Every structure is written in C-alpha cells, then in structure tokens.
Chain A
Amino acid sequence: MSILVIAEHDNSSLKSATLNVVAAAQQIGGDVTVLVAGADCGAAAEQASQVVGVNKVVVADNAVYANQLAENVSVLVAELGKDYTHILAPSTSNGKNALPRAAALLDVAQISDIITVESADTFKRPIYAGNVVATVQSTDAIKVITVRGTAFDPAAAEGGSATVETVANATDAGTSKFVSEELAKSDRPELTSAGIVISGGRGMQNGENFELLYTVADKLGAAVGASRAAVDAGFVPNDMQVGQTGKIVAPDLYVAVGISGAIQHLAGMKDSKVIVAINKDEDAPIFQVADYGLVADLFDALPELSAAL
C-alpha cells in the first residue's frame, strides 16, 4: 500500500486538517507521502516533513499552484497519484474542489468524507445529512478519498523526519485565473478544530446581538459558529455556517443558542462530545440531542453565562 496525502496549507504553514488525514492514512497502512503543492511553500513542506507517520514529502513549488486552482492541482495530483494505491485529501473546500477532478482524470470513483477505515478498500461514510452511515467498498485500482477531519485524531505535528523531494511538474491549464480573496479575520480558534464551539441561530435576531456570543466565546476560548438561518439573514458571514452544507464540527463542547435544530444543522454538529442547547422553545428539536438543555430567553441567559464564567 502506498498513500499520497494532499496537504492543506497556505504556503507558509500546514493546516491541521492535514494531520487528521495522515492519521486516516496510517489506519489504511503503508508508506505515506505528503504532497505540498503551492508557491513559495517551503515552510509548509518543512512542517509536513516533521509530522509523525509521514515517510516522504513531495514538493511542487510553482506559481501555477499559488491559489490551489483545481484546474492545475488536479493534473498534478493525477500525474503523481497514478503510482499510488490511495490518494487522500481532507474534506476542506480545497480538497472537495480539486480531488474529484483528479479522480475523474484517473477514471476512478471518489469516496467522499469517510469517517472510519474498515480495511484498505472499505470505509464508512455518512449519507442523507448524517442520518444514515454507509459501509462502502471500492473496486478501483486507485482509491481516491476525502477524509472528515473530525472523525480522526490528528497525527503528531512534530517528531517525524520525512525526506523531502522536489518535483518539477507544473501545468497551467490556462482556463482559470485567481482574482481575489476575502478572508474573515478572527483571533478566535478555527471552527473545525476548536475544542469548544458556541453557535447562534435565527433567535439571535440580528448581527449586533452576536456580540453576546463573542463575549462568552472569548471567556471559553471558543470558536463561534452559526446556523444557516443566521447566515441567510445576514447576521454573520457564510464561512461560520455549521451543518450538512457548511462546516462539520465535533468539539468537546457545542453550545447551540437560539437554534431550533433542523436535520441539516444537526448533520454538522451531532458528533460533538457534549451538546448544550439554550432555547426559549422547549419543544425545539435541538433538545432531543442536547446533553444539557436550558429553556430560557437567550438575551437573559447569555449575559448571565458570561458573568458566571
């Protein structure tokens, strides 16, 4: 077995999602190679070489990979990937964007968002917004897979000593161009890897009221998420959305405030270790999955909570 892991990084540093994928790769077993494709990505490659369980790091450092355009990255992944039995990427927006394209170039299927490794060709993955777990087996020669990060404990970021190799492959498909990027800036932890997440829904009523959540989040060192209703209403940006179509989180503590608990939201957070719901509607479906439920007006409860912490 030989496994190629596509690193998630921003050129200067390796993203933690990569560590979860390396852990999944180790469960499959075999040599693990990490591909770092980017521009001026030496620092990210250096970090990848120190991850425990990585045998080799392959670096494709070229301007054509600067913004992870799928048209270019997929060609590289398909070229290098044909010599491996497995190609793995995290279920991040980059992984979801480029990997199916690479799979099609290799004429093989992709298995999306696996949550367990049963064997080298058999995996479990959630379908129907997490209401069903399917056990699937691939008969393809190359297994192309995206990995749900929250389902695998991360590999240790330091202590490894992989060899680093450079490849010259560089294809510019010439059909797409990066224009601009608007990234939300926040001092709070990243949503998908935070130990505590506090989320607000429609019940927050407006964007200003999210300050109440931020105050509590800062006391807890928590990330702040949102339901689709809160995003659609324009309270907060869409990258904060937790759910089937947003981010999947599984923190130690998830606090849902003013969120009713639709199927699509539960899909994104029901694997959290402890769930707390604060809602004034005692019949809200969120209480059916909450370990601790508080039936109260969030505008009373949040300031109280903040004072108590």
Chain B
Amino acid sequence: MTHKLEIYNGICMKVIVAVKRVVDYNVKVRPKSDGSGVDLANVKMAINPFCEIAVEEAVRLKEKGVASEVIVVSMGEKSCQEQIRTALALGADRGILVETADELQPLSIAKLLKAVVDKEQPELLILGKQSIDGDNNQTGQMVAALTGMPQGTFANEVTITDGKAVVSREIDGGLQSVELSLPAVVTTDLRLNEPRYASLPNIMKAKRKPLEVVSPADLGVEVVASVKTLSVEPPAERQAGVKVASVAELVEKLKTEAKVI
C-alpha cells in the first residue's frame, strides 16, 4: 500500500496529531473557593476543539492519499485514553498515551512530543493552536523549536505539494501564506475545517485500534513545572446594567451618563 501511495503522490507521509483532554467548551468553570485551583469535579470533559480540527485535517490528508498513517498522541492521566479513542473513531490509525499524573506545562509537553517525533519520524505534526483551558498557545511553537522544524501556526489552509507544506495563516491584519519544508509543525485555527462526527460503527472499530501507553521516563524526558500557580480567583464580576426603552434613550445615556460618545 505504501508503494502505491508513493507512486500516486510522490510522498507518503506519516502524520502525528496531538490531542488534549480539556473541560467541554460549553462549561463555565469556577475557581474553588479557597483559590487553590479550578473546580473540575464532575465536569464534562472533551477533546480540545482545536485538537479536533487537527485530527480532522490529518484524516482528510489520509483520505486524499497524502498521508499514509495518522498517529494520535495525548498526555496526562489514564482518562486521556477516552480522547485518544475519540480521535481513533474519527479516523486516526493508532494512539500513543504518555501517561503521567504530573502537571504538564507546554515546555514539558513539547519535550515529550519531541521524543515521540524522534521515534516515529513523521513528516507532519499537527496540533491545535491553543487549549481552551490553559489558553497558552505555546506547545506547537515549542516542539517546532526543539525539533528544528519550521512552523505554520494559526493555519486556516494547508496544502502539501512536492515535499513542502504551504500554509495560509490567520494573522492580525488578514492572512499570510508561508511555504515550509517537511517535516513541519502546523497548528490549527478554527477555520481550517469542520470536524466530522464519529459514527457508531467507527466508535466500535476504534476500540480495536492499537493504543500504546508509555511514561515520560520511557521517553527519557524529565517533567519540570517551572511556572507555579500560586492562586486562582474569579475575574472582576460585571453586573448587568439597565435596559433602555429606545435608541433615543440609549444615545442620551451614552452621552450624559456614561460619557463615552
């Protein structure tokens, strides 16, 4: 099969996708009252939305015959297997869980991913641009730095041709297009694609796909957390204001009361 793909496309890529287990995006989380952390007890968890887009993009590359294998990697506690299984149901071929109870910050995640990249030698590594819990927007850039790969961050279009990736990126003033040599790192923006839903037969099939479990020690990586969270608190609360009855009253209030126009 590999040879066939090579003949048809000139390349036959292995793609690694990193996915993170996070609080479902519809949940409004609250800090614990003692400020020690965020209350995550009994909260619905899901694949980070940007990671879902990353999985979808990798699966589409496979469907186009550009990718030969899609490997999904997640890191954290055993429960992350659920998110790996979801990605497998969406079309990834096999999973790797880096299992640890330690707090994983972006630099450690990047180092662990580099170890996986060294072992698997993919042509493309796709991540979400940020996780909606930590809101860091760092991991893709960091793993690109550690592996020496070029990066196409905040991607809204990825085209693979002639051993290169052309990535259209969402930037502050509009769009920018860059050409990256492979292997490369891409991080997904919201508009890259619309992720599919997993069908029941695919969910059943995903249960039989291989899922390897390794530890950070197996990968030779020491997990370090150099940023300590001292406390968490709710943001300054905004109170609902007043309802106005008409546009005239609104303009009047903005002029005389709020004095902003």
Contacts and interface: CB of A to CB of B under 8 A. Distances in A.
Nearest to A308: B251
Contact of B180 (A98, A175, A181, A289): A175
A238 B191 CA distance: 9
B241 A293 contact: yes
Contacts of B176: 67, 178, 180-182
Contacts of A264: 25
Q: How large is the interface on A (under 10, 10 to 19, 20 to 34, 35 or more residues)?
A: 35 or more
A26 B259 CA distance: 31
A107 B145 CA distance: 10
B166 interface: yes
Given A175-B150, A179-B178, A238 B156 contact: yes
B234 A132 contact: yes
A71 B251 contact: no
B232 A139 contact: no
B172 A247 contact: yes
Given A70-B151, A274-B260, A184 B174 contact: yes
Contact of A132 (B31, B50, B143, B181): B31
B229 interface: yes
Interface of chain B: mostly helix, strand, loop or mixed: mixed
B29 A131 contact: yes
B125 to A, nearest CB: 14
B44 to A, nearest CB: 14
B244 A292 contact: yes
A42 interface: no
B151 A290 contact: no
Interface in A190-232: 192, 196, 220, 228, 231-232
28 contacts: A71-B151, A93-B154, A94-B171, A97-B141, A98-B141, A103-B138, A104-B145, A113-B135, A128-B29, A131-B235, A132-B234, A137-B228, A139-B228, A175-B180, A177-B178, A178-B178, A180-B177, A183-B173, A196-B261, A231-B191, A232-B190, A238-B170, A239-B171, A245-B130, A270-B238, A276-B254, A293-B241, A309-B261
Interface of B: 23, 25-26, 28-31, 38, 50, 105-107, 110, 129-130, 132-139, 141-146, 148-151, 153-154, 156, 166, 169-181, 184, 189-191, 226-235, 238, 240-244, 246-248, 250-251, 253-254, 258, 260-261
